[in-house]
């Protein structure tokens, strides 16, 4: 079902695709805790993780995180994982040296892409 979706077809046509791409990167503490300000927000924290799927189109990277949560509310799902994707984006930009064009969730429960609700506002 996934590979029949527009995102699945897009990944199949991508220039490059990586799955379970592991990383270690230093990210500003403010990305993890938005209440931090000034020098505290800039302190580096070591982040270790794995991106479910990353694909490349025209030299830009796109990150997809797959979710199985039983949720039909896209804003709620993004609220659960939006910070995680911001962290992944920062880490993968550092690791690869390439622009991260977009991050998205793919909900298997909804069979749909979930994007940052603030992206198009």
Segment 63-113, tens digit of pLDDT? 999 999 999 999 999 999 999 999 999 999 999 999 999 999 999 999 999
* pLDDT attached to residue 121: 54
Q: What is the mean pLDDT of the chain?
A: 92
Q: What are phi and psi of 41, to 5 degrees?
A: -70, -25
**pLDDT bracket for residue 20 (50, 70, 90):** very high
Considering only 4-8, 77-81, 90-94, 116-120, which range has the smallest mean pLDDT? 116-120
- What are the residues whose beta carbons fall under 8 Å from the beta carbon of 44, sequence distance 6 or more? 26, 27, 28, 29
Considering only 11-25, 29-43, 97-111, which range has the smallest mean pLDDT? 29-43
* pLDDT attached to residue 34: 82
42 Cα distance to chain centroid: 21
How many C-beta atoms lie closer than 10 Å to residue 72's C-beta?
Answer: 11
Give the pTM: 0.89
- Whether residue 55 contacts residue 11, with contact meaning beta carbons closer than 8 Å, is answered with yes
């Amino acid at each position: 079902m996934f590979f029949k979706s527009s995102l699945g077809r897009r990944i199949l046509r991508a220039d490059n695709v990586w799955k379970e791409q592991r990383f270690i990167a230093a990210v500003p503490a403010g990305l993890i805790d938005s209440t931090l300000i000034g020098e505290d927000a800039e302190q580096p924290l070591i982040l270790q993780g794995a991106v479910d799927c990353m694909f490349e189109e025209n030299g830009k990277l796109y990150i997809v995180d797959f979710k199985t949560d039983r949720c039909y509310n896209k804003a709620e799902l993004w609220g659960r994982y939006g910070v995680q994707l911001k962290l992944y984006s920062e880490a993968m930009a550092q690791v690869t040296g390439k622009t991260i064009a977009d991050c998205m969730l793919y909900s298997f429960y909804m069979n749909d892409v979930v994007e940052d609700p603030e992206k198009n506002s």
